Amino acid sequence: MRKLVLLVALSLLMISAKAQLSGAVYSASGDVLSGATLRLVKSGQIVQSGSNGRFVFSDVSLPDSLFVSYVGYTEQRLWVASEQADLKLYMQKDGSQLEGVEVVHTGFYEVPKERATGSFTVVNNELLNRSTGGNILQRLEGLASGVQFVNPGGTETADIRVRGIATLHSDATPLIVIDNFPYEGDISSINPNDVESVTVLKDAAAASIWGARAANGVIVITTKQGRYNERSQLSLSSNVTIGQKPDLLYSRNRLPSSVVMEIEKEKYEYGALYKEGVQQYAFPEYVEMLIALENGTLSRADFDRQEAILQQTEVREEAMHHLYQSSVSQQHALSGRGGGERYNYFFSANYDKGRSDIIGNDHNRINLNLQNTFKPFQDMEVSASLWYAEQRGKNNGLGIRDLEGYSSYVGLSPYTRLMDEEGNALPVIKDLRHAYVQRAEEMGLLDWEYRPLEDRNLVDKRSKREELRANLGLKYSFLERFNFLATYQYVKGSGQSSVVYDKDSYYARDLINKFTQPDGKMIVPNAGIYQEGNPNASASHSGRAQLNYTQSFGRDHAIAALAGGEIRSFVQNTFPGKTLYNYDPDLLVGTATYSYLEYYKNHPGGTNMRLPAPSSTRRQFTDRYLSYFGNASYTFKERYILSGSARWDGSNLFGVKTNQKGTPLWSVGGSWDVSKEDFYAVDWLPYLRLRTTYGSAGNVNKSVSAYPTISMSGTLYDTDLYMAYVRSVGNPSLRWERVNTLNLAVDYKLKSNRLAGTVEYYAKWSHDLIGEDLLPPSTGINPNSATLNSSKINYADLRGEGWDLQVNSRNLVGALGWSSNLLLSYTTNKVINYKGNDAVMTSSYLTSSNVLPIVGESKDIVLATKWFGLNAENGQPYVLYDGEFSQDYVAYFNSLSVADFLRVGVKVPPLYGSLRNTFSYKKFTLDFLLSWKSNYVFKRTSSGSESNGLIYHMDFLDRWQKSGDEKYTYIPAKTKTGEVLSYSGLIYNHSEILVTRGDHIRLQDINLSYTLPRSATGGFVEMRLFAYARNLGILWKANKQGIDPDFAGAEYRTPKSFSIGVQANF
Amino acid sequence: MNKLYLFILIGLFCSGCGKEFLDIKREAHQVVPKTIKDYHAIMANDLLLVSSNDLAFVAADEYTLGSEADLIVGSQYNPIYKHIFKWENEGYESDEQILDWNFAYERIAYANLAMDVERVKPTTKYEHMKQLEVRLAARFHRARNYYQLAQLFCKAYDPQTADQEMGLPLRLDYDLDVSYERSSLKQLYVQILKDLHEAEEIGQEHSVDNGKNPYFPGLLSVEALASRIYLQMGDYKKAQEYADKVLQKMNSLIDYNNLTGNITGEYTSYFRLNGAENPELIFYTVCKTGAIMTPSRFRTNEKFFQDFDDNDLRKEKGFYQRAAGNTVFIGSFAGRGASSYFTGFSVGEMLLNRAECYARSGEDVKALADINRLRAKRYRNYQVLNMTDVDDMTKLVLMERRKELFMRGMRWDDARRLNREGKYPVSFQRTLEGKTYTLEPNSKNWLFPLPPTELERGKLEDNIR
């Protein structure tokens, strides 16, 4: 702004008549702004800044007032008194900053959002920096329209849906693009501090440019870059986040110790349920006490004393005290950038470190990044960049589930204690009967107790991931309107994990004891054990050549086009693991020369077993892609835009025929800026634009082979001819799944940007989805065949549609500013064509987390059994079988088909959204994010059981106990000890009575920041201080059971976390 | 603008290398057939030596059953048998699997896959030879299986009407994703002959005879198949030509007088297992017939049995009377007695093919010579037939054919072609529990309906019966 004033002052000093006026338009940060409108008030001349930001008024009479406008930036007006040849105009962003960075990065080209026909969501740097956390994807939650976090707080692509789903059995994750190339590495190795912006491509016009893998949406991550003619700048940022200790008492899958002990006592007294076997499988501690009491090895007094202690114990409290902690994480980043006329650079170093909420688990990450760009000639730009990331983790912690004993008898005993009054680690029941374990030393074996608190320090589990990413780029501009871009990317990643078990660790002692022979010989030496998991390595090479062309013809016509080709190869390797016995962790020596073939007698029971061998898995996967693409747009009179794109994809995943045929993926689109029309005279709505696109994008399925496979099998009769069986004929027509998307959108802005936003409607038709097909036997595939069995082909169809609504409002402008951002999305899907697999059991439609598609229903459908209440006699559920109330669950269930199940709703919320309110007062900004989800259901867990299982649930306390209770409760009676009611548990646990509405509103986070402007520190530093709180809890929920629908069956909810941090630019 | 050309060049370079670049399998541990040896092994699978004419056996009048009960029990797993047995106009049960159809198409898929051997470049002379063998075999097996399907599911070939009659889904590729309509009958036979002639060319040019190995097809097998198919089509000239080609190279016959063996039951045989060391064998295939024809139910058609002369050793050595009283056929070259039936090509069939063609063109002397040659090895103390003994030469040949090719699956095929031709019509007749069932020469039931799963999933038109 000061520069501007200076310029105006300078220009006032000179006076001239007919003159030329030229210069360039920049953003405050020095970015070239192309497409800015410059208007001279007196003469009425209008020009637009070109691609390099430059503008020229050739024949002007000065002085005059110059208006400069650019969408998203505050309009400028300045007085030009005399001829100027190099006027530099710096534009300030709109005070509201509603629009953020207007430029859309598709990975192939950049375009101002106002000139794009497709559907994009841009999350700019400022918005990304609102939250803390080491994962870039996590930061998009609630901020990107149309992006749904199926797993709240998700950090992986699998947790995300962009505009619902478009596939049934194939990869449903969006494509991640980093710096113009698809990224197949570990997203957690990307440091959010290095990210400049994220663009989500949602419709066909946006995604089809990415071709055969874009059907699930594309998330384009653009990293920070240096800029030409920018003064050197150093940035420092640092923050600390502290998360609360998890609340394990949130879980409803638990019962008080005394209740569980009663149940165990009843089972013990029934007899026959705790049978001692040669395998010495563990019994619950309380049962051991009862046995000891009966045997007389435990006195009544001791029993009563111990029983009282157990009754007072709650394992979750023990765990919270000894196993869990507050999580702490720190992030520190240093970056620098700058540039001269022919050179710019960017570098950064990041260090993240944190301990998890489980004691013993921590992780850290180092990121280094260096980018250089040179202009050896005026027309040529060469860039080279390097990123390195290293992540290390230590995973020695024990969670609540690690305290579970042998699954058939023990499970998670609620009275498990971890530490005695003197602070000694207590043993817990693990795999073997305690009575047996106690005799170990008598039998000449090592101590066989498992003491979790001690063991945590005797195991050293580590993991490490490294990733190196290198980009090389060449840009050459010629013939004014063309530029040629060649880019190459190399990504190399590797991961490994190792465990060192101390010789005193439970794992080592357990293995040593198991393999101690009757004569006392230890097959596994009494020493440490070193294990290495399957190391993996991957490498990808990508290259792209692209020719861009832009030209304007007069003021009315503008064309931008690009065409090019891309080639990629991605190889993943998995290597065999290693095991060293007799390992000394100090000297790092051990032996690997053990016989994994020999059988040894095992304790207990004397069965013959082999030593656990390291994994011998060796795999190699090669993915190759070859693509050609083109994209063009034509703008007429700045208000009509036509755009189109086409792309051809070949891949070794596809069949030969697809690669030969080369049916392209394509899109067309158009937009109309109604408000620029002469007839447009709606005063209160100064901006109104209509957009539409239609086109197709693809998706791949890596589990199906395009190639035939055979197996060799002996010789034919008594000849010497080798025979081969054909296992699969492959599928030469295997091709990408194809998703056609229609997008209709309206962009609008009210006067002075008070209200602005977008309404978008989309419909998706997914065709050629991979599904298991019932094939005509003339394909050679038939149920009688022992050899040919490939029946997964491209045939199924899915339909999806939905709305994305975005409203940005500036409620208060002035010293106290208040703006709101509302995102609202609705998305549904329906299976149109799918031929079910007859062999699937009906019960899997209830129990499976991934129900097979049902024609006419959503892919996310939840099925339930009908509920008929409880029988007043025995408190068990009724069923309606053959028109009568019955309790013949087996006959009833077998009579059911999928069509008889109730369609009770969907498990993924079709309606979801967020509301962000930002208040600013002077240098303070406060914003908070509310999110909601609705119109979906989940099945809450309960205590139905068919037999005497180990399902402990709070509902047990409210169960049916006597006749008449059925009027107040739907929770079935406890199964009589020893009685098995097959299917009754299944029918109850999946009945409509347990189906719960998931609707809720959540306060996701709050951010308070204070900005210290450069001026306040004498130009030395610009600083931002912030405090941030996340996972603040539910404000409203539809269910009355106190369940957080995002954590319906979980042990605990993600705890609240609080951060403070500082960011400084020098 | 020069630079533009450069980019175009780069583009062309990229598209040139594309095919190979994409031609790599994704998962390294898959066994993807890629060597000539791999494809050869696919063509050597014993699945290919099974023939799909179970329905033809069931429908033929060479046998009958003792009771309705036998019929019901024998049809338990293949409900269509009970209708076919009585030549009733009934279809399949809803999800009934028709093994003839399923397995013939599975073998066709094997053949289609083996056609890919042409993509491999042989590096040695030996490999080149092996590649030719595979190329020949793939065509032979495809032609043979389509021919066999045509005998079951299409009308008998008539050159006048073939382009109006329905053929089969003509899959010439293993691609699962392509759906096929039924071709015309003419298209089907054109394809069969195309495969045959290509196989013949491969065999002739490179003298692929595979050492007369009866389990892997060579030129001889191709010629024998050609003779059978042309005879079926009514092209006697070609049928004679191909039979002649075979007989010039291979003409030894087993003398039944020298057959020795220890026959102790219905599963014993005078012949070695799988046709081993049988000098008459040109190509070996076998049909495993369904439960309806197990020896406990099978009763040889009494009239056929009686038609054998007492001196005809095919009667003495080909049949076995079970303790239960029924006579079963154990004379199959498959060497397993009455459990499975040889359906491949033999010198005997070639002699009969040639004889019939001679007879039909009036060369009765030559025809009779072939008959005498065959009979000489089949009869005890054979008295040569003279021209004066013969009334209708063709009729004589056809009768000889019924005897020599008994239970080879040929009865059904022959009846179809004779009825289409009309000069020597055949009707089938059976009596069960006092009721007589007949399949008249002009009946519409000389073919079977298409399998229901195929009709439904492949959306095909069914046969009109």
Q: What is the pLDDT of residues A440-474, one digit of tens each?
A: 999 889 999 999 999 999 999 999 999 999 999 99
- CA–chain centroid gap for A469, Å, is 21
Task: Please indicate whether, in this complex, the C-beta atoms of B21 and A624 are within 8 angstroms of each other.
Answer: yes
Task: State the sign of the Cα–Cα–Cα–Cα dihedral A115, A116, A119, A123.
Answer: negative
CA distance A643 to A635: 9
Give the residues of chain B that fall short of pLDDT 50. 1-4, 6-7, 9, 12-14, 16
- The beta strand positions in A120-174, using DSSP E, are 120-123, 147-149, 160-162
CA distance B269 to B284: 17
Q: Which residues of B337-347 are buried (b: 16+ CB within 10 A; e: fewer)?
A: bbbbbbbbbbb
Beta bridge partners of A934: A911
Those residues with Cβ within 8 angstroms of residue B458's Cβ, 6 or more apart along the chain or in another chain: A776, A778, B169, B179, B180
Those residues with Cβ within 8 angstroms of residue B323's Cβ, 6 or more apart along the chain or in another chain: none
CA distance B453 to B447: 18
More confident residue, A550 or B194: B194
pLDDT digits (tens, 9 = 90+) for A73-125: 767 777 777 777 788 887 776 543 333 436 788 888 888 777 788 898 889 88
Task: Please indicate whether, in this complex, the C-beta atoms of A626 and B109 are within 8 angstroms of each other.
Answer: no
CA distance A241 to A330: 6
- Which residue of B23, B48, B172, B176 is the best one to mutate when testing the A interface, meaning the one whose CB has the most A CBs within 10 A? B176
Radius of gyration of chain A (CA): 34
Closest CA–CA distance from residue A539 to any residue of chain B (Å): 15
Which chain A residue has its CA at the smallest distance from B31's CA? A709
Question: Is the bond preceding A777 in cis, omega lying within 30 degrees of 0?
Answer: no
Closest CA–CA distance from residue B423 to any residue of chain A (Å): 36
CA distance B65 to A407: 60
Q: Report the half-sphere exposure of A566 (CA within 13 A, side-chain side).
A: 26
Task: Please indicate whether, in this complex, the C-beta atoms of B105 and A777 are within 8 angstroms of each other.
Answer: yes
Which chain B residue has its CA at the smallest distance from A651's CA? B22
Q: What is the mean pLDDT of residues A345-354?
A: 95
CA distance A490 to A366: 19
Contact A960, A878 (CB under 8 A): no
CA distance B283 to B275: 9
CA distance B327 to B342: 18
Domains with residue ranges and CATH for chain B: 35-234+409-443 (1.25.40.390)
CA distance B418 to B156: 9
Which chain A residue has its CA at the smallest distance from B3's CA? A478
Task: Please indicate whether, in this complex, the C-beta atoms of B32 and A781 are within 8 angstroms of each other.
Answer: no
State the amino acid at position B295 in one-letter form: P
Q: Which of A626, A788, A791 is facing B21, going by the closest CB pair?
A: A626
Contact A957, A974 (CB under 8 A): no
pLDDT digits (tens, 9 = 90+) for A921-964: 988 999 999 999 999 999 999 988 776 677 789 999 999 999 99
Cβ neighbourhood burial of A991 (10 Å; 0-12, 13-18, 19+): buried
CA distance B137 to B143: 10
SS3 B109: helix
User: Which pLDDT value is given to residue A790?
Assistant: 66
Query: In chain A, what residues touch B212 (CB-CB under 8 Å)?
Result: none
Q: How far apart are the first and last CA of chain B?
A: 71
- Tokens read off for B64: 């009958």
Q: Does B125 touch chain A (CB under 8 A)?
A: no
User: Which pLDDT value is given to residue A9?
Assistant: 43
Which chain A residue has its CA at the smallest distance from B12's CA? A565
Most confident of A150-159, A830-839, B58-67, B206-215: B58-67
pLDDT digits (tens, 9 = 90+) for B324-356: 899 999 999 999 899 889 999 999 999 999 999
Query: In chain B, what residues touch A730 (CB-CB under 8 Å)?
Result: 32, 174
State the amino acid at position A87 in one-letter form: L
More confident residue, A903 or A603: A903
Strand A482-501 vs strand A528-532: parallel, antiparallel, or unpaired?
A: antiparallel
Task: Please indicate whether, in this complex, the C-beta atoms of B97 and A783 are within 8 angstroms of each other.
Answer: yes
In total, the C-beta contacts within 8 angstroms joining chain A to chain B are 208
Phi-psi region of A863 (alpha: psi -120 to 50; beta: other; left: phi over 0): beta
- Tokens read off for A285: 């501690």
* pTM (predicted TM-score): 0.78
CA distance B87 to B300: 18
Contact B158, B175 (CB under 8 A): no
Which chain A residue has its CA at the smallest distance from B174's CA? A729
Q: Tell me the H-state helices in A385-504.
A: 434-438, 452-455
CA distance A684 to A686: 6
Contact A127, A140 (CB under 8 A): no
CA distance B202 to B196: 10
Cβ neighbourhood burial of B325 (10 Å; 0-12, 13-18, 19+): exposed
DSSP per-residue string spanning B153-178? HSPPP-TTTTTTSEEEE---S--TT-
Query: In chain B, what residues touch A715 (CB-CB under 8 Å)?
Result: 44
Q: Which long-range contacts does B17-20 make (Cβ < 8 Å, 24+ apart)?
A: B18/A626, B18/A650, B18/A659, B19/A659
Task: Please indicate whether, in this complex, the C-beta atoms of A778 and B169 are within 8 angstroms of each other.
Answer: yes
CA distance A364 to A351: 7
Neighbour count for residue A662 (Cβ, 10 Å): 11
Q: Does B37 touch chain A (CB under 8 A)?
A: yes
Beta bridge partners of A670: A642, A692
- CA–chain centroid gap for A113, Å, is 26
Query: In chain B, what residues touch A659 (CB-CB under 8 Å)?
Result: 18-19, 22
Those residues with Cβ within 8 angstroms of residue A823's Cβ, 6 or more apart along the chain or in another chain: A142, A143, A144, A145, A804, A805, A806, A913, A914, A915
Query: In chain B, what residues touch A537 (CB-CB under 8 Å)?
Result: none
Query: In chain A, what residues touch B7 (CB-CB under 8 Å)?
Result: 484, 545, 547
Task: Please indicate whether, in this complex, the C-beta atoms of A710 and B26 are within 8 angstroms of each other.
Answer: no
Angle at CA of residue B422, ends B418 and B427, nearest 5°: 60
Q: Is the pLDDT of residue A309 over 50?
A: yes
Q: Does B113 touch chain A (CB under 8 A)?
A: yes
- Tokens read off for B416: 């179809």
Q: Which residues of A865-896 are buried (b: 16+ CB within 10 A; e: fewer)?
A: bebbebbeebbbbbbebeeeeebebeebbeeb
CA distance B190 to B203: 20
Query: In chain A, what residues touch B176 (CB-CB under 8 Å)?
Result: 729, 731, 733, 773, 775, 779, 781, 790-791, 793
Task: Please indicate whether, in this complex, the C-beta atoms of A705 and B25 are within 8 angstroms of each other.
Answer: yes
CA distance B29 to A711: 12
DSSP per-residue string spanning A132-172? --S-TTGGGTTTSTTEEESSTT--SGGGEEESS---SSS--
More confident residue, A1010 or A52: A1010
Q: How far apart are the first and last CA of chain A?
A: 19
Task: Please indicate whether, in this complex, the C-beta atoms of A626 and B10 are within 8 angstroms of each other.
Answer: no
CA distance B380 to B316: 10
Contact B352, B368 (CB under 8 A): no
Task: Please indicate whether, in this complex, the C-beta atoms of A707 and B32 are within 8 angstroms of each other.
Answer: yes
Q: Does B213 touch chain A (CB under 8 A)?
A: yes
Closest CA–CA distance from residue A349 to any residue of chain B (Å): 37
Interface of B with A in 175-204 (CB under 8 A): 175-180
Those residues with Cβ within 8 angstroms of residue B121's Cβ, 6 or more apart along the chain or in another chain: none
Phi-psi region of A882 (alpha: psi -120 to 50; beta: other; left: phi over 0): left
Residue linked to tokens 């049902």: A854
Q: Does B109 touch chain A (CB under 8 A)?
A: yes
Q: Which of B401, B355, B447, B448 is nearest to B157 (CA)?
A: B447
Q: Report the half-sphere exposure of A957 (CA within 13 A, side-chain side).
A: 11
- Tokens read off for A79: 């007085």
CA distance B321 to A128: 91
Query: In chain A, what residues touch B116 (CB-CB under 8 Å)?
Result: 708
Q: Does B119 touch chain A (CB under 8 A)?
A: no
Those residues with Cβ within 8 angstroms of residue A1043's Cβ, 6 or more apart along the chain or in another chain: A252, A940, A996, A1037
- Tokens read off for B202: 């491969």
User: Which pLDDT value is given to residue A71?
Assistant: 67
Mean pLDDT of chain A: 88
CA distance A57 to B54: 91
Those residues with Cβ within 8 angstroms of residue B223's Cβ, 6 or more apart along the chain or in another chain: B200, B242, B245, B246
Distances (CA, A) of A824 to A131, A754, A909, A914, A919: 21, 19, 12, 7, 21
pLDDT digits (tens, 9 = 90+) for A413-431: 999 999 998 999 999 999 9
Query: In chain B, what residues touch A779 (CB-CB under 8 Å)?
Result: 105, 109, 171, 176
CA distance B101 to B104: 5
More confident residue, A435 or A5: A435
> How many secondary structure helices (H) and strands (E) does chain B include?
17, 12
Q: Does B9 touch chain A (CB under 8 A)?
A: no
Q: Is the pLDDT of residue A651 over 60?
A: yes
